[in-house]
Chains A and B, each alone.
Chain A
Amino acid sequence: MLNQTSILRVISKLLIPPIMLFGLYVQFHGDFGPGGGFQAGVIFASAFILYALIFGVDNARKAAPAWLTRLMLASGVLLFGGVGVVSSLMGGGYLNYSVLANDVHAGQHLGITLIEFGVGLTVAGAMITIFLIFDGLLRAEEED
Chain B
Amino acid sequence: MAVTAYSLVRMHNLFAVVMLSGIYSLLAAVIYVVMDAVDVAFTEAAVGAGISTVLMLGTLALTTSMEKDAKMFSPLPLVIVTVTGALLIYATLDMPPYGDPTAPIHHHVAPHYIEKSAHEVGPPNIVTSILASYRGYDTLGETTVIFTAAAGVMALIGRSRRRKKKSDKSMPVEDS
Contacts and interface: CB of A to CB of B under 8 A. Distances in A.
B164 A73 contact: no
Interface residues of B, number: 45
Contact of B58 (A77, A95, A135): A135
A112 B58 contact: no
Contacts of B127: 34, 36
A115 B136 contact: yes
| Interface of chain B: mostly helix, strand, loop or mixed | helix
A80 B51 CA distance: 24
A131 interface: yes
A43 B43 CA distance: 9
| Interface of chain A: mostly helix, strand, loop or mixed | helix
Counting contact residues on chain A (CB < 8 A from B), the size range is 35 or more
B140 A80 contact: yes
A77 to B, nearest CB: 5
A34 B39 CA distance: 5
A140 B161 contact: yes
Interface stretch (B81-89, B90-98, B116-124): B116-124
B129 A112 contact: yes
A32 B158 contact: no
Interface string A113-144: 00110110011011101110111111011000
Interface in B138-160: 139-140, 143-144, 146-147, 149-151, 153-154, 157-158, 160
Contact of B143 (A32, A77, A111): A77
A112 B127 CA distance: 12
Interface in A57-101: 73-74, 76-77, 80-81, 84, 94-95, 97
Interface of A: 26, 30-36, 38-39, 42-43, 45-46, 49, 53, 73-74, 76-77, 80-81, 84, 94-95, 97, 104-105, 108-109, 111-112, 115-116, 118-119, 122-123, 125-127, 129-131, 133-138, 140-141
Question: What 6 A-B pairs are tightest by C-beta distance, nearest first?
Answer: A31-B123, A126-B150, A95-B136, A134-B58, A112-B132, A34-B38
Given A31-B125, A131-B51, 19 more contacts: A32-B124, A34-B127, A36-B132, A49-B50, A49-B54, A53-B54, A77-B147, A80-B139, A95-B137, A108-B120, A112-B123, A112-B133, A118-B143, A123-B146, A126-B150, A131-B54, A134-B55, A137-B157, A140-B161
